[in-house]
Homo-oligomer: A and B are copies of this chain.
Amino acid sequence: MCLGLLLRQEASGYEIKKAFEERPLAAFQDASYGSIYPALSRLTAAGLLACRDRPQDGRPDKKIYRITQSGREAFRAALHRPVAPDKYRSDFLFVMMFADCLDRSIVTGLIDSRIADYRARIRAIESNFESNMSDGMRFVAGQGLAVYRAAIRYLEEHRHLVEGLAAQKAIGA
């Protein structure tokens, strides 16, 4: 993943971490400093990256990584390896399976904040859409928008199914 990001532009470990926090990438990949820094060291030792130090005032030196030719080749080879299946885990959906054990107000709150979360993700993607996005990234971002919108729509149109289950409990609350 570091190789892929550095294919587009050179960057420091810190900047790579920031890139993982931006939409749409943040939606389907993540990495912490604890995995990024060692990875950059290993890739550099293997000759897939080159590193140059930019001394800084006060802060630690900034290490700017750049992909090498053999790094480019290794990345292309990696892209051709069979892709691992998606991994998805959702506590929200699990809880919804047991909506009948919850008060209506809880279910309502959960769905409201989930819709708000999807809307925030959509806004974040839309605000990045015009800028420095590659075609591939635009394609991926577009799929994100499509599924988030479908999810919101479903939740709005079918929430009564689970809000009705524990219906009476919260009427007076």
Interface string of A1-37 (1 = CB under 8 A from B): 1001001000000000000000001011110000000
- List residues of A (35-52) whose CB comes within 8 Å of B's CBs: none
Interface size for A (C-beta < 8 A) is: 56
CB distance from A138 to the nearest CB of B (A): 7
Binding site for B on A (CB under 8 A): 1, 4, 7, 25, 27-30, 75-76, 79-80, 83-102, 106, 110, 117, 134-140, 142-143, 146-147, 149-151, 153-155, 158, 161-162, 165
Having A7-B101, A97-B134, A136-B162, one finds 20 other A-B pairs with CB under 8 Å, namely A4-B94, A7-B98, A28-B89, A28-B90, A28-B94, A75-B101, A79-B98, A79-B101, A80-B106, A83-B110, A97-B137, A97-B140, A100-B134, A100-B135, A100-B136, A136-B165, A143-B155, A146-B151, A147-B150, A147-B154
